[in-house]
A and B are shown apart, each in its own frame.
Chain A
Amino acid sequence: MLDDFFIRALLAGTGLALTTGPLGCFVIWRRMAYFGDTMAHSALLGVALSLLFQMNLTISVFAVAAIVSLALLLLQKRGSLSTDALLGILSHATLATGLVIVSFMTWVRIDLVGFLFGDILAVTPQDVSLVWGGGILVLFAIVYLWRPLIASTVNPELAAAEGLEPERARLAFMLLMALVIAIAMKIVGILLITSLLIIPAATARRFSASPEVMAVVASLLGAIAVAGGLFGSLKFDTPSGPSIVVAALAIFLFSLLPWRRRAEEGAIQPDTGGHH
């Protein structure tokens, strides 16, 4: 089964979507969309360093993303610049540094477009097992940390007062983000990772009555977007990463426009789906 590149892509994409669902919810609740973007952009520096020192790509991307998020924490504590300015600096500084380092290495030829926009159709069986192995790890960690994460998202001081160690939860959250970015890079690419975090979660908000439901719905919507995007990519011969994002956007818009009134009155009728 894994011999077929399309099945592999489907498996890798849905596996990734399952982890980006709950994580994306936290990105939205904590208003960290730009933060996610910054960590994703830093992945290119990770790519460059892994080529320079001939390290494992995933580990190197994870390490750089984790270091960037820790650097942000330290800079925030100094409090001399606003968070969005710091993010702007880190985001583009790491992206640019990565590009410069890559250009120095004349002896390697890398597919820059592949890293920026992903190449899900080229995933290997090893990639699939990495996605699922890493994804299950991330999901277990999220379930284990769920209460402290939710409580410190609502109010860190409240969580601290009632013994839930919000700083630990925040650190764990950043490491999980770094891990997911390292996993996701090959599938949707550095520039599009945040969209897979944010769009399904944003779509899920309207259909969810609790944080738990929202996390699950975001995962499912993400998986649908991956499948839809891949089939679209196959049918129309479009790039796969952007196609997945476009599919996610289509679901978001579809959830937004036609049945807003009815949904709010609790009378959601099964739609026989005329949007294809």
Chain B
Amino acid sequence: MLQTNPSTSPPPLVSLSAAGVRRKGRWLVRGVDFSIARGEIVTLIGPNGSGKSTTAKMAIGVTRPDEGHVTRIPSLRVGYVPQKLAIDWTMPLTVDRLMTLTQPLRGRDIDAALEATGIRHLARAEVQHLSGGEFQRALLARAIARKPDLLVLDEPVQGVDFAGEIALYDLIKTIRNTTGCGILLISHDLHVVMAETDTVICLNGHVCCRGTPEAVSRSPEYLRLFGARAGQTLAFYSHHHDHTHLPDGRVLHSDGTVTDHCHPDDGHHHEDSLPVGRAGPMRIVHAHGPNCGCGDHGDEKPEGNPGTLQERGDA
């Protein structure tokens, strides 16, 4: 029931078995089993407080499991983008300096990472002056610049607008394809899951269900947890980049021309000539509805899930 990918003959980068974390008499998460191999993308989804971040921290050794086991290959190099990172304004820190926070790097590796995340023009900016999206990119650049074996991204697209989100997911896919690192991705956005994800693990204090994105969105446990409507709204989001915004503000169109603006009808947009059938980096797995149970709209509890939720509070 774990990875059946035949290319995972070398030991996985990290594997968790029956792992759990208990704090103040309450299990934050328990019974977690999964492993991540090189080149594999594993996505954790689940409502608020379902133990996604805790699970990720267990995987990389920040939090020690109170039960079960976590094994990592020796000298596993991790690149981590934490969920919350606030840099105190009293610390002067440029994007460039942020890159070498945990280890010294060669200038060209820094430049390559900034280039890949599209923030090379911000190298000298103070991190406190970046927008939410730019800061997320800077954190991602920092994590990939050290060429990790395992990239752990805790909600990497928070604060990023929809188009930026697509670009970041595209980038994550590219990183996996070019470096072959394993990726553990945490998504709070239940309805948006990367299509390239090999395994989706849906958490709710324990592993609720797992599988490919399609399989999870159809599984009865998922539907019970997130509401019946969740499965009905499975949709592909496919997008066509017909233009790219360059760092200097100009616009590069798909026909190779560069203009100052991107007016829809200035003759550079060629929607019809784009390759068809190219799936975007993500698909809509579940839409936000009153009963979707994702925990984002108040205290309502998902209906009809005996057993699954009760295991949490009474431990």
Contact = CB atoms under 8 A, between A and B. Distances in A.
Contacts of A154: 85, 87, 91, 93, 101
B90 interface: yes
Given A154-B91, A209-B92, A160 B61 contact: yes
B78 to A, nearest CB: 5
Contact of B82 (A29, A147, A157, A211): A157
B102 A213 contact: no
A162 to B, nearest CB: 4
A158 B92 contact: no
Contacts of A28: 90
B80 A211 contact: no
B81 to A, nearest CB: 8
Contacts of A147: 101-103
Contacts of B17: none
A211 B92 contact: yes
Contacts of A42: none
A157 to B, nearest CB: 5
B268 interface: no
A157 B103 CA distance: 15
Given A29-B88, A31-B88, A154-B87, A162 B103 contact: yes
B62 A161 contact: yes
A29 B60 CA distance: 26
Nearest to A166: B62
B148 to A, nearest CB: 8
Interface in B185-207: none
A158 B82 contact: yes
A158 B101 contact: yes
Interface in A175-214: 202, 205, 208-211, 213-214
Contacts, number: 66
A210 B103 contact: no
Interface string A24-45: 0000110100000000000000
Nearest to A29: B91
A154 B93 CA distance: 10
Contacts of A205: 90, 92
Interface residues of A, number: 25
Contacts of B92: 205, 208-211, 213-214
Contacts of B210: none
Tell me which of B57, B61, B92 has the highest count of chain A C-beta atoms within 10 A of its own C-beta. Answer: B92
Contacts of A209: 92, 94, 126
Contacts of B173: none
B213 interface: no
B90 A151 contact: no
B63 to A, nearest CB: 9
B97 interface: yes
Interface string B79-112: 1101001011011111001000111000000000
Interface in A196-245: 202, 205, 208-211, 213-214
Contacts of A29: 88, 90-91
Contact of B80 (A158, A208, A213, A214): A158
Tell me which of A157, A160, A205, A213 has the highest count of chain B C-beta atoms within 10 A of its own C-beta. Answer: A157
B97 A210 contact: yes
A216 to B, nearest CB: 12
Contacts of A157: 57, 62, 80, 82
B137 interface: no
Interface in B101-132: 101-103, 126
Interface in A108-167: 147, 150-151, 153-155, 157-164
B146 interface: yes
Nearest to A157: B62
A162 B93 contact: no
A255 B65 CA distance: 50
A208 B89 CA distance: 12
B152 interface: yes
Contacts of B97: 210-211
Given A150-B101, A151-B101, A151-B102, A162 B78 contact: yes
Interface of A: 28-29, 31, 147, 150-151, 153-155, 157-164, 202, 205, 208-211, 213-214
Given A157-B62, A210-B92, 11 more contacts: A147-B102, A147-B103, A154-B87, A154-B93, A155-B82, A157-B57, A158-B82, A158-B85, A162-B78, A162-B80, A162-B146
